[in-house]
Amino acid sequence: MTDLDRGDPLASYRDRFVGADQPLVYFDGNSLGRPLRVTGPRLARFVEEEWGGRLIRGWDERWFDLPRTIGDDLGRVVLGAAPGQAAVGDSTTVLLYKLMRAAVAARPGRTEIVIDRDNFPTDRYVAAGIAEECGLTLRWIDVDTSAGVTAELLSAAVSEQTALVVVSHVAYRSAWLADVPELTRIAHDAGALVLWDLCHSVGSVPLELDAWGVDLAVGCTYKYLNGGPGAPAFLYVAERHLAELTQPIQGWMGAVDPFLMGPSYAPAEGIRRFLSGTPAIVGMLALQDMLALIESAGLDAVRAKSVALTSYAIEVADRLLADAGVVVASPRDPARRGGHVTLNHPLMREVTAALWERDVIPDYRDPHGLRLGLSPLSTSFDEVDRGLAEVREVLNSLA
Ligand SMILES: *Cc1c(COP(=O)(O)O)cnc(C)c1O
């Protein structure tokens, strides 16, 4: 334990995670969060009592409403959204498709989707597919890969042709933290809708979707929300758009009365119209434990720890790695930085492979980036020390 860990008001939360007592250094909680200890028993209880005990009755008793009740919990704990605007289901990729299609359909006559070249691949691929499908053009924003989309860049890209702007709140590569209210205002001034991808911010950076005037958002639950591999994603649609927007995957679970089993589709009122098929209930269980934990810690305290961790990682990298040619490729201003730090060096691909062998688990991202994901409730300052000392050793051994 370092002095920083001793002074960390959230230090005790680490013990709640499976494996955090092991020497392994985990820098990938932003790709797959660790499981909570309470999650195993929760899953076992679900199999025994709810699935095994209630059987098909479980749907009426609880499961059918779960995508929306957890959506409301997300709204309260991490999204800054009043009830009735968020729901859980599908993957982020599928939800991106649904909401991008919904948005461009709501802006008929406009011909462009604005998106940056450094946005996450799935966001770019889905946007490209929709552009082709709907006869639209992608207007690309070129960004500095050590930073991200700024107000100036967005202002230059939007016009009366823009139907939709798609931006990530925290850039997956650099951790650039976009100014949501400002960029949303710029898009709105051009008459466009905005879809925010929250995968790399939700659960580590406080969000105020309602107050910021956000139209649409999607995000993962298996990163900082520790929902487990492939846990379903979530979407947010602002109340003011719920009556007007419809989505393209017209399934029975989003229909006005699923059990009427009528001859044709009519969308449900409210957020349920964005659901399509039977929800993945088992996948939604672990996420509830993490939401409860974040609520008890307080999201502002989580963010404060996140800023302290990333600031410390940059400080140690400057001290230990700069003379080996390592360059910090994330914003140095904590107000513009999300929950991870990327360090560039020409050998980082090899370094990452060697680190995995040594039970130090970061990610590698092109070009030459070692990505340190510092999940605030499960990562210690001591891990940062030990992990970066290993980076130094591996770099020395490769030099
Ligand atoms: C992780 C991530 C995704 C993942 O989408 P899936 O459909 O869950 O594979 C999408 N967008 C961003 C920005 C991400 O970081």
Which amino acid does the sequence have at 157? A
Q: pTM for this one?
A: 0.98
What's the structural domain count of the chain?
2
Residue where a domain stops, chosen among 294, 311, 344: 294
Q: Is the CB of 120 under 6 A from ligand 1?
A: yes
Q: Look at residues 105, 67, 108, 58 and name the one whose alpha carbon lies nearest to residue 89.
A: 67
Side-chain-side CA neighbours of residue 15 (13 Å)? 4
Query: Closest ligand 1 atom, CA of 172?
Result: 15
* Residue 306 structural domain: 3-36+298-398
pLDDT in tens, 309-343: 999 999 999 999 999 999 999 999 999 999 999 99
Last residue of a domain, one of 276, 294, 312: 294
Q: Is 168 in the pocket of ligand 1 (CB under 6 A)?
A: yes
Which tokens go with 374?
Answer: 């510092």
Q: Rounded distance, CA 332 to CA 116, Å? A: 21
List of residues 6+ apart from 78 with CB closer than 8 A = 202, 203, 206, 207, 225, 291, 294, 299
Cα separation, 24 vs 377, in Å, equals: 16
Are 53 and 32 members of one domain? Answer: no
What are the tokens at 119? 């946005």
Q: DSSP letters of 135-151?
A: T-EEEEEP--TTS---H
With 0-12 CB in 10 A as exposed, 13-18 as middle and 19+ as buried, what is 301?
A: middle
User: Of these residues, 197, 215, 363, 385, which one is catalytic?
Assistant: 197
Q: What is the residue with the minimal CA distance to atom 5 of ligand 1? A: 92
Residue at a domain's end among 275, 294, 313: 294
Specify whether 371 is catalytic.
Answer: yes
- Answer yes or no: are the C-beta atoms of 74 and 291 closer than 8 Å: yes
Say how far apart CA 282 and CA 180 lie, in whole Å. 32
Which of ligand 1's atoms lies nearest the C-alpha of 119?
Answer: 13
Is residue 221 lining ligand 1, measured as CB closer than 6 Å?
Answer: no
What are the tens digits of pLDDT across the range 272-304? 999 999 999 999 999 999 999 999 999 999 999
- % of the chain residues with pLDDT over 90: 97
Examine the domain organization and report whether 224 and 282 are in the same domain: yes
Phi-psi region of 203 (alpha: psi -120 to 50; beta: other; left: phi over 0): left
Q: Are residues 185 and 308 in the same domain?
A: no
**Are 213 and 85 in a shared domain?**
yes
pLDDT of residue 399: 81
Any atom of ligand 1 within 6 Å of the Cβ of 92: yes
pLDDT tens string 122-177: 999 999 999 999 999 999 999 998 999 999 999 999 999 999 999 999 999 999 99
| pLDDT tens, position by position, 213-232 | 999 999 999 999 999 999 99
Length of the chain: 399
